Structure 1
């Protein structure tokens, strides 16, 4: 890098044909001047076509001194800076808003903010390019999450059936309500956490840039799981506009996923109990089940009266004496707490 020529020691030359050579510079006699605004030259200004041949050539001048940064007048042109010499202001792609004079220490931050607001086209192009690069990976991810080609986890099937049964018992026929129940229980409660925080599973550190990308993908997944129609306009967040055309397709994937689960064979209570028992055996040495049970009891204790009433009114719970057994557990837990 130390042997690389300085930028001010080079010219950008457009070559066309055998004898066609033109130096492209930020400013020259052809620069457009409107009032006190002078526009920096662009490729469009020189009418350089796509596929043109350009080259970096040495700049023939003896007046360049790199250490003290002395340059010939006009040789060093600031990009998007306020050039107040002679009352002429320079602009590149868009003009900075004409703000009242500010202290010098505040100009930089204001200029950066104005630049970020004033050139959305540049950032939009980069976002679209990034979206195109990640599109296949996002599609594959959503397909894996919302696919029933492999057996659906028994717990998911059992819980979704439970939600369907509860809807039937309470005469809830609105499909949107059931859809929201399932969305809140699995995609939004589980998958969103995994998508937004891959460090929960993988030994990785998420940088700020990656976190921003994951936020867009996560928001897209959330929007895909909702049934509401999203009305987008010019003032809508850019992350929503990026996947606006893809979300209807993702919504269909979510609806098909729920429908496919509903069509699979139901899981009995015995199968669910066996599956839970197997999980307990497989991870018996890695989990503190007493802590887990106590956390579960804290939730039960919060709604203790309602749960006891529901168990006493349910015929299946009456046969299994679940209300009586819960009262025994409560007495044991409270006594244990009292002893402590």
Structure 2
């Protein structure tokens, strides 16, 4: 077995906690956050528009956008939301749980052997069950009532009002623009080719913003 610096971990000791954690994350018994439903519908719609029928591709899109982008960070770094200090031993255990969650979100089967890392072996028998939970979660979200643009805009406006005094808008806008600037040409091209974006003049608006920030466009 591959060498490891992990402390001794008994999967049975943590099993109920891991099961409960994954159940909470992957449950639709309570209303799914509007932003998640809206974004997942957007991914499904984009797949349809571009004739992408491979279910694995759509699964990967959703996995990369929510479980791996958001939940993995929370699992590995509970100090992001709780006032706690994570010891080295706890960090190692959380890494095992995070790896298990990552493996559960993939479609491909993982071939494991005696030389596989221990963090992949500890919950290997449970991963097929967790994979089913992930697939059922995505399917349940797909079957819920779609969120309209108006509902999403209203939710964002309400959130903005609720946290109006706690956010630095300039910093947030600057971080967004850094990303836009990195892919500026591709974004402009996509907006100019999209029918809905053309009607809303989104490409032109982005050019105006770029001109104000960096003089990217001189003939407005």
String of CA shifts for 1:172-222, please: whole Å, max 9, x gaps: 111001101110110001000000010111111111111111111111001
Pairwise CA distance, 1:239: 2.1
Contact 2:210 2:216 in 1 (8 A): no
Contact 2:6 2:93 in 1 (8 A): no
Q: For 2:189, which of 288, 309, 312 is the aligned residue?
A: 309
Partners of 1:157 and 1:247 in 2: how far apart?
25
Pairwise CA distance, 1:156: 0.6
Unmatched segments (≥5 aa) in structure 1:
7-129
Pairwise CA distance, 1:232: 1.3
Secondary structure at the counterpart of residue 217 of structure 2: helix
Partners of 1:310 and 1:191 in 2: how far apart?
30
Secondary structure at the counterpart of residue 339 of structure 1: coil
Deviates more, 1:216-225 or 1:322-331: 322-331
Pairwise CA distance, 1:166: 1.2
Cα separation, partners in 2 of 1:320 and 1:231, compared to 1, 3 Å: same
Cα separation, partners in 2 of 1:280 and 1:338, compared to 1, 3 Å: farther
Higher strand proportion (structure 1 or 2): 1
Partners of 2:5 and 2:36 in 1: how far apart?
63
RMSD of aligned alpha carbons: 5.6
Cα separation, partners in 2 of 1:288 and 1:178, compared to 1, 3 Å: same
Q: Count matched residues.
A: 216
Pairwise CA distance, 1:277: 1.2
Partners of 1:141 and 1:218 in 2: how far apart?
11
Normalising to structure 2: TM-score of the pair? Answer: 0.91
Partners of 2:27 and 2:70 in 1: how far apart?
16
Pairwise CA distance, 1:328: 1.4
String of CA shifts for 1:96-115, please: whole Å, max 9, x gaps: xxxxxxxxxxxxxxxxxxxx
Contact 2:180 2:187 in 1 (8 A): yes
Match of 2:71 in 1: 191
Pairwise CA distance, 1:275: 1.1
Partners of 2:88 and 2:194 in 1: how far apart?
51
Secondary structure at the counterpart of residue 336 of structure 1: coil
Partners of 2:160 and 2:217 in 1: how far apart?
25
Report which structure shows greater RCO (CA 8 Å, sep ≥6): 2
Cα separation, partners in 2 of 1:137 and 1:339, compared to 1, 3 Å: farther
Partners of 1:141 and 1:253 in 2: how far apart?
12
Contact 2:7 2:89 in 1 (8 A): no
String of CA shifts for 1:276-330, please: whole Å, max 9, x gaps: 1111111111111111111111111222222222212211112111112111111
Rg comparison, structure with higher value: 1
Pairwise CA distance, 1:336: 12
Does 2:6 match 1:4?
Answer: yes
Partners of 2:151 and 2:12 in 1: how far apart?
44
Pairwise CA distance, 1:4: 33
Pairwise CA distance, 1:337: 13
String of CA shifts for 1:69-110, please: whole Å, max 9, x gaps: xxxxxxxxxxxxxxxxxxxxxxxxxxxxxxxxxxxxxxxxxx
Contact 2:78 2:84 in 1 (8 A): yes
- 1:146-165 equivalence runs, <5 A: 146-165=26-45
Cα separation, partners in 2 of 1:332 and 1:210, compared to 1, 3 Å: same
String of CA shifts for 1:19-46, please: whole Å, max 9, x gaps: xxxxxxxxxxxxxxxxxxxxxxxxxxxx
Partners of 2:33 and 2:134 in 1: how far apart?
16
Pairwise CA distance, 1:226: 0.6
